[in-house]
Amino acid sequence: MIDRGWKENPDLTSPNYNFIWTLKTNEIPHVLNKNQIANHYHNNIEITKKSGLSKNIKNLIFENIDIDNFYPRCYELSERHEMEDFLEDFKTTKAISILTRFLIENSKISENNIYSTNISNANNIKNQITEDKLKTAIEICERKLMFFEVEPTTSNQYIEKLNLDYHIKSLLNQNGLKLITDREWSIISEEENKTYTKEMQKLEKMNKIVVNPKNFFRSKSLLTRVPTNFSSKEEKLTTNKISNQKEDLTVISLEKYLPIVNSLLQRLRKIFPQISISGEKNIWILKPSGLSRGRGITCINSLNEILKFIKTNSNQYIIQKYIENPLIIKGRKFDIRQWVLVTDLDPLTIWLYDTPYLRFGAEEYKPDDFSNLYSHLTNNSVVKYSKNFDNSTIIGNMWEIENFAEYLILKYGRNVWKELQEKIIKIVISSMESVKKLIKNRKNSFELYGYDIMIDEHLNAWLIEVNSSPAMDYSTVKIT
């Protein structure tokens, strides 16, 4: 701007300016003169703060937009009802991950024509899927499907379907029941039960709430879909009784269960779009709600560790489902940084920078190693500290979008980037629609956002977060 003849006012508190660019929204007056322009709207934390995005984007349900198709499910752990939702989601996702792992492992066994019915290594027993665990996981997933295998035909039924899980849970809580019982959880997570202390149990129960279903059941059609034969005893919540005998430490018969599990996972995928990202390890990612640049992020797949982490950390945290099937390029995980410029909220006016770029992890992607954030995170503010940063085959651990588009054409034989770009545009519009009435509009103002988008192996685009005042300086060698 100086090169173009502008002059800089060194007094940051001076009201004499035509253009102000600042990182802090509170440094901008609420009212601007006609000849003044500012780079922020007030209250933009409704989309840039992780908890704000998580809360507000869920309102798209009233616009008949299913966020499960582009926003990994996310919970604000400081909110009691959100904590309750997360606990149930974590446990049911654990059941789904057991079925997924069983299918993957036995598919490999089938391909190699190798199968053994005995466990020879005692150290690996806890990693095996026993019959009791598999049967319990199947029953949990069948119960989850029992309420949802009805396709909506109208917009009201669509909203009803998305809210149904909450309605049913309210009814069960009123009767002291759970969609997944403590006994079922003890079976499918035996590796956690060894360290599941009374202290952790108290913390989990403390975050439970009981909701009166009368406040939510406004439709008889909802009530008719809720089974009436539930008993107050947890054992009768399951569709089949589970034996009280000790777990059978025998590997499951491939022929007996493989078709059942395969069919069940296919039914789940039809109804729950995020089954594909849930994976076989049930990994979740904890994020401080108000921090940026990858600070304080932790990957965890143990409920005990999550509850312990929450208790010992004073920061406000959200927890989001980790995408377990990311598209991997040259052994590296990546995301797309898309710059978005909003120049008006009424009418909503959005501009997308047409050449976004890719940011790669600095080290080989290893989903089993949660401690290595240089493998899991792609933010340059984090990965630049890796000792292997300069040894990557990807120069600067970034790609121009042209490199990505060319890679996709060679791999898939079509213009995949154009398809992804259309998905990203829909994500940006939907997310801004969810907050346009919450952010305070002001003429002569604009907002530059940095959208972080991930791509999975099925070429689905996922919104991770939205950043305010994204860095625009060069972080790689400048090519002239």
What lies within 8 Å, CB to CB, of 332 at 6+ separation is 360, 361, 363, 364, 365, 392, 394, 397
Sign of CA dihedral 174, 177, 182, 185: negative
Whole-number average pLDDT of the chain: 78
Q: Per residue in 329-351, pLDDT tens?
A: 999 999 999 999 999 999 999 99
Q: How far apart are CA 43 and CA 450, in angstroms?
A: 17
Worst-scoring range by mean pLDDT, 5-14, 135-144, 387-396, 430-439? 387-396
Higher pLDDT, 287 or 403: 403
Helices 401-412 and 416-433 cross at an angle (nearest 10°) of 120
Higher pLDDT, 117 or 457: 457
Q: Per residue in 234-256, pLDDT tens?
A: 444 443 433 333 344 345 565 68
Report yes or no: 237 and 230 within 8 Å, Cβ to Cβ.
yes
The rounded percent of the chain whose pLDDT value lies above 90 is 42
Report yes or no: 304 and 66 within 8 Å, Cβ to Cβ.
no
The pLDDT of 469-475, averaged and rounded, is 79
Per-residue b/e over 309-341, b at no fewer than 16 CB within 10 Å? bbeeeeebbbbbbbbbebbebeebbbbbbbbbe
pTM for the model: 0.79
Could you tell me the domains of the chain? 45-70+326-468 (3.30.470.20), 74-278 (no CATH)
What lies within 8 Å, CB to CB, of 411 at 6+ separation is none
Q: Are strands 37-38 and 19-20 parallel, antiparallel or unpaired?
A: parallel
Q: How far apart are CA 383 and CA 369, in angstroms?
A: 16
Report yes or no: 207 and 214 within 8 Å, Cβ to Cβ.
no
Report the largest interatomic distance among the alpha carbons of the chain, rounded to a whole angstrom.
Answer: 82
Measured CA to CA in angstroms, residue 294 lies from 51, 55, 216, 374 at distances of 15, 20, 38, 11
φ, ψ dihedrals at 135, nearest 5°: -60, -40
Higher pLDDT, 314 or 383: 383
Report yes or no: 317 and 287 within 8 Å, Cβ to Cβ.
yes
Q: Tell me: pLDDT of 132 over 50.
A: yes
